[in-house]
Every structure is written in structure tokens, then in C-alpha cells.
Amino acid sequence: MANVRLQDVADLAGVSMKTVSNVVHAYPHVSAGVRARVEAAIAELGYQPNLSARRLVTGRTGMLSLAFSDVSIPYFAELARVVSNEATRRGYRLLLEQTDGELDREREIVSTREAGLVDGVIFQPSTMSANEISLHRKDVPLVLLGEQAAPVSVDHVMIDNFAAADQATTHLIALGRTRIGFVGHEREHLSETSLRRLEGFQHALAEAGITVDMGLLLSTAEISAASAAAAVADALDRGIVVDALVCRDDLAAIGALRAIQERGLRVPNDVAIVGWDNIAMTAFTHPTLSTVAADTAALAATALDLLEERIAGFAGLGRHLVASHSLVVRESSLAP
Amino acid sequence: MANVRLQDVADLAGVSMKTVSNVVHAYPHVSAGVRARVEAAIAELGYQPNLSARRLVTGRTGMLSLAFSDVSIPYFAELARVVSNEATRRGYRLLLEQTDGELDREREIVSTREAGLVDGVIFQPSTMSANEISLHRKDVPLVLLGEQAAPVSVDHVMIDNFAAADQATTHLIALGRTRIGFVGHEREHLSETSLRRLEGFQHALAEAGITVDMGLLLSTAEISAASAAAAVADALDRGIVVDALVCRDDLAAIGALRAIQERGLRVPNDVAIVGWDNIAMTAFTHPTLSTVAADTAALAATALDLLEERIAGFAGLGRHLVASHSLVVRESSLAP
DNA sequence: TTGAAAGCGCTAACAA
DNA sequence: TTGTTAGCGCTTTCAA
């Protein structure tokens, strides 16, 4: 049974609760004899501290929550792994929260729902705006992930989407491509993330003296390979010609790849592709996918640094930090 | 501040703590006037119940933990999503635990680590044997997922791996394939899962009068596309000829597909492929992948049913339930 | 229908 | 170095 209390151990060892507590917490000033007796009692009774009680008293839960739209999206799953490992290393356990990108569920994340449950929250919003976040947010320590504009009051770790999109597009231009499309931004509510990437995309084209052809901007109904495949298939069937595609994320790239190949076009010879996120699968598609890779390990470590400072009581303005990224060039954008 | 206590609300509303508690818990026998006053006080103070305190008293945490090796493996990510949604629907939050398949971390899952933190544990072991599980397990309600032999004392939900492997292999035989290989079982410690699948594979071959060629059993160093690609590439380079491949999981199938195509062979014409798990990506590879699909929704619902019964106090012998599966036939195993 | 009070098991300030 | 004890904020029995 788990109903062994601190007092029971104390009784068996013939000491007070405080002494047992000292032993449990490895407090140094305990005589060896007493320590041995207490440890024997703990072992004999199979004592385990009641975490709820400890929490009630300390106000700390030792848990963090990680919130984003959907863990079955590979980028989030891979992010969850990195954050979870880093959290474990620092002595926290991780609670997983999915919002499906729904506004009211995102609101719950930054406001009431977590109170008292976790010491802090790491949150990558899909839908909430900076304004809304600062409006709804409560006292729980919070760090935002991702690329949207964040409220000045909240810590935030991102990559430089503009620069990365510029870099990816410039890479395609250097390959001699001129009819370059963009795939995968939201059809209805354009996210800040997509917007930044589109701006970087446009900037690179402008630098090369190419004006953006709005007909080559292929938005999708949702973030999925299926949705991107449909958008690209539809565009090709309408007779639209592209020789390169910058994709908002790797799922879009995988969908685009599939649609292009289904129509008998070759990648990269006819159409070069660059994706985004460097999910594991991009190294195993045929051809393998070039992609923008965020340094997720740095992202996670930085986010946890900021969060731990907040938990420790730091109350200054929001810090806005940039994690590095790189362009991973694979077969889908190799020079022919 | 979140330091508003039940007592503060009671003071402001001019009632006792019990009455406030009644209102918070929607206890019906509270007069309308009092209820309104209490609700106003709650709103004015921004009161939120302290969950740690509630837990200390009720002994319930409202949390479940889901444990498996690695959330960045797509099958587990997709499973986590399903389980998380189902848990949320039932009023639980989900804690994520990764073991990396390491024995001592798996031991922690079934023994001490979760005590007091969660009401129950759903665990898909990678390494632990049935014997070890029953040896180490403590009092936390536990349901096992997956296909390994489970201890008689523990609840367990699985799919019929033998039957599914038999079915997948028979499907390939019906295509006229005769040199059928198996890819992706562990090189060192063969898991129960792989074993069952290999047995089903062998059974189907035997039924068709084909003896298993041990040279066509391609084990891998780990569960990953890279590892499977290496194993298949190596086999092909050694001159081994296959006309079909049953893969232990979709990651292995994706790796195998890549290795086969790199060597100029065509799928399914030269080599047909069947994977396992029906991860989202299998619908977007080129060609799309045939695969064994477990009914994960049923799996999750059943696991939570069993777990909730355990949490409610059921103490009978372990139940061993089977979730249904199906063979999803896609391009990788179409008749030429 | 509402109030008073006894814990839940632990931590930590204070005493010895 | 060890013991005593007052809470942490809530639920819940029992009384009123």
C-alpha cells in the first residue's frame, strides 16, 4: 500500500518527522546512525512522499506544460521530444496540451486552465494574436515559441523566418529558377508565421528582379500533406507552370512532391522544392527534401532558461530571443 | 494574484467555506440568492481552486500518464494524439513519459515514479518482459498497450499481430510473390511484437508451401527508417533478391522503399511492400504504402475503459483485450 | 440549506 | 543535531 506516511516512518525509526524529512531531502547534518535507521525504516515500509502534500506546502509542482495544436504533426512531435528531454534533465515532468488551433482552447492555455497545475507553460500559438495573449494571460510563467509577433510583456523564442525564407528562395534563384511558387500558407487566417515567410520569399524575388506572381501563391485549407497535395494538383491542372516551390512546412512539401510526381513531372529537374522544419521524414522521401532547419535543441534550451528565470521570480519585460536556423540542401533542390 | 482562498470568497460573500465549496461543485441544494452572491464574489476576486490542496484531500490528481519509448516516432505521436483526446474527453490531463526503450526507465514507469502523481498509467513497453513487469509493478492502476505478452495480473490491449502478419503476407503471396522478405525486427533483443509478426509471416508462407529463407529476414539496429534503409541496401548489395517485403513498421517500410528505389528497382513492380501502423505519411510516399492499420481509436478507448475501472477500484485478474486491425492496400502492393 | 471543524501529508520556522 | 508544531487550501462529516 502507498498509505505510508512520514509519521509512520518516524515512528518505526524512533525519530521525529523532521528527521525523516531531513533524510529524504539529503540534508547533510544528520548523524550516520540515525540516517541508517531512517533509511531502513523507509525501505521496510516502502515509503514514498505524497507529492500533492509537498506541493500544497511548497507551491511548486515540478511540472511544466507544453502546448501546441497537434502532436501528430511531425514537427510538434519532434519538438515535444526535445523539450521533454530538456525538461526531464532539469527535473521537470511534462504535461502535453493540444489546442487543435482553436481560439478558445488557446485562451485556456494562457489563462486559467493551468493555474496551480504546473510551474510554467511553453506555448506555441497557432491562432491567438499577440494582443489577445497579453489580454488573456494570467500569472503562470509563460514562454512563447514560434514565429508570430509576441506581446512585449511575454518571453518569446523564435527563428528568423524572414531571413530563412529569403535564404531558401535565394537558393532556388541561384539554381536558375524563375517561376517560383509558395505553398502551404493558410487560406483564411494567415498566420504571422506564414506572413513572415511570405515576406522573406517576396524579398528574395525582388532582390533578383522578379515580381511575385500572385497566381503562384498556393494557400491550403489546413496544415497537412493532403491539403497541400490538393492545392498543387489543382494549380497544375489549371495549367499553372512553376519550376520551383518554397513550402511553408515539410508536410506541405511532401504533399507538393506527391502531386508533382503524380503528374509525371520530375523533382528537382522540372520543379525544385524546399520545405521547412527538417522533420525526420525529409531524409527518406524520394527524392530527399531540402528544408529549413531550426536549431530545436537551442530553441528548447533557451525557452527553458527563460521559463526557469520566470519561475524563479524574474518579472521584467519580455525577452525576445532568436534561435539559429540553417538551410539543409538535399536532392529536391540539387543543381540538375 | 492567485492567492485567493476559498475562505476569502466566503468572507466576501458572507457565507461559510462549505457553501462556497457547494457552489464551486455545482451542488444542487443551494438557494439561488446565496449562489448568486457567491458567484459574484468568485468573479470579483478571480478565485481559482488550488488543485494541489484538492488533491491532497481527495487523493485524486485528474492526471494520467502515457508512457512509451519516443514521441518522435510517428506511430507514438499519432497514438498520443488519440489517447490525449480521449483522456481529455473523460476529464483527465495527460502526462507524457518517454523511456527510449531503456530498461531502468521502463521499470520506473511501472514502479515508483508515478506514485501520487497520476491516477493511472497507460504504458507501451519496448523492453520489459511480462515477468519483469509483474515483478516491479506497484499499486498505480496500469494498462499495457502493444503486443508483447503481458503478465496475467495486468490489463492489456493489443491487436492480433499473428493474424495481421499472416494476412499481410498472404496478400503478397496472392500477388504471385514468392521471395518475400521481412524487414525491421530487432537485431539483438527481439521484441515480442516482432516475434509475433515473424510467426504470422512464417505461417502464411508455410500455408503457401514456401519455407522461410533466413537470408531474407533483415533485422535492424534500431527502429528507424535510416536503419531499415541500411539493412535493405546492404542486402541488395550482397546480391539478395526479393520480390516482396513485409515490414515490421512503416518507418522500416519507408527506409526500405528508399533503399530499393535508390538501386533503380521499382515498387511494386520489382518489389512489393507492406508496412505496419498506417502512419499518416504512408498515404504520401511515392508510391503510397500498403500497411497494417490498428484501430487506434478503439485501442485508446478500451485502454481508458479498463484504466478507469481500475481507478474505480476493480481488482480482478488482468483483462486481455484485442482491438481490431485491417490491411490497407495502397500502391506499394498493387497488382502490376 | 448552511456552518464548524477535523483532517489530508508534508514543509519549515522555531525551540531545545 | 533533532523535535514540536503551525500551517498550506481544500473536502467532508456532523451539527445546527
Count contacts between A and B (CB, < 8 Å): 140
What's the rounded mean pLDDT across residues A36-41?
A: 87
pLDDT digit string (tens) for A260-283? Answer: 999 999 999 999 999 999 999 999
* The pLDDT of residue B50: 85
Q: Which has the higher per-residue pLDDT, B177 or B41? A: B177
Region B39-62: mean pLDDT is 85
Between the alpha carbon of residue B17 and those of residues A52, A184, A265, B42, the distances in Å are 21, 54, 72, 12
Beta bridge partners of B13: none
The CA distance from B38 to B30, in Å, is: 10
CB-nearest to B96 from A52, A84, A255 is: A84
More confident residue, A220 or A44: A220
| Ordered strands of the B217-220 beta sheet | B217-220, B180-186, B244-247, B272-276, B290-294, B325-328
Would you say B91 and B62 are in contact if contact means Cβ atoms under 8 Å apart?
yes
pLDDT higher than 80, residue B1: no
Mean pLDDT is lowest, of A86-95, A137-146, B113-122, B253-262, for B113-122
Say if B258 is an interface residue toward chain A (CB within 8 Å). Answer: yes
> In chain B, which residues from 56 to 75 place their CB closer than 7 Å to nucleic acid strand D?
56-58
A303-320: burial string, b at 16+ Cβ within 10 Å, e else: bbbbbbbbbeeeeeebbe
Q: Could you count the other beta carbons within 10 Å of the beta carbon of residue B139?
A: 12
More confident residue, B9 or A232: A232
Report residue A153's pLDDT band, with 50, 70 and 90 as the boundaries. confident
**Nearest residue to C3, CA vs C1'?**
B16
Render A156-215 in DSSP notation, one character per residue: EEEE-HHHHHHHHHHHHHHTT--SEEEEEEESSS--HHHHHHHHHHHHHHHHTT----GG
Q: Are A172 and A333 in contact (CB under 8 A)?
A: yes
Task: Provide the pLDDT confidence category of residue A1 given band limits of 50, 70 and 90.
Answer: very low
Give chain C positions with protein CB within 7 A: 1-5, 7-13
Q: Which residue has the higher pLDDT, B158 or B58?
A: B158
Cβ of A321: how many Cβ atoms within 10 Å? 16
Contact across the interface for B285 and A280, Cβ inside 8 Å: no
Q: In terms of DSSP bridges, do strands A272-276 and B320-323 run parallel, antiparallel, or are they unpaired?
A: unpaired
At B307, is the secondary structure helix, strand, or coil?
A: helix
**B3 contact to strand D (CB, 7 A limit):** yes
| Residues 6 or more apart whose Cβ sits within 8 Å of residue B315 | none
Beta-bridge partners for A68: A98
A284·B74 Cβ contact <8 A: no
Most confident of A111-120, B48-57, B88-97: B88-97
Nucleotide nearest to A4 (CA to C1'): C9
Amino acid (one-letter) located at B22: N
pLDDT per residue as tens digits for the range B25-38? 888 788 888 888 88
Considering only CB atoms, which chain B residues are within 8 Å of A117? 51, 93
Q: Which of A52, A138, A281 sits opposite B52 (nearest CB)?
A: A52
A57 touches strand D (CB under 7 A): yes
A residues 152-211 closer than 8 Å to B (CB): none
- Neighbour tally for B233: CB within 10 Å: 17
Which H or E run includes A220? strand A217-220
- So what's the pLDDT on residue B239? 95
Question: Mean pLDDT throughout B281-298?
Answer: 96
pLDDT at A120 over 60: yes
> Regarding beta strands B320-323 and A325-328, do their DSSP bridges make them parallel or antiparallel, or are they unpaired?
unpaired
Cell of A203: 524579398
User: What is the rounded average pLDDT for all residues in chain A?
Assistant: 92
Q: Nucleotides of chain D within 7 Å of a protein C-beta?
A: 1-5, 7-13
Give pLDDT tens digits for A41-79: 888 888 888 888 888 888 888 899 999 999 999 999 999
Distance of C1' in D1 from CA in A36, Å: 15
Chain-chain contact of B258 with A229 (C-beta, under 8 angstroms): no
**H runs (alpha helix) in chain A:** 6-13, 17-24, 32-45, 51-58, 74-89, 103-110, 130-136, 161-174, 192-207, 225-237, 250-262, 296-311
DSSP state, A288? P
Say which range, A114-128, A226-240, B202-216, has the weakest mean pLDDT.
Answer: A114-128
Q: Which of B78, B95, B261 sits opposite A72 (nearest CB)?
A: B78
d(CA A137, CA A110): 5
| Distance (Å) from the alpha carbon of B207 to chain A's nearest alpha carbon | 34
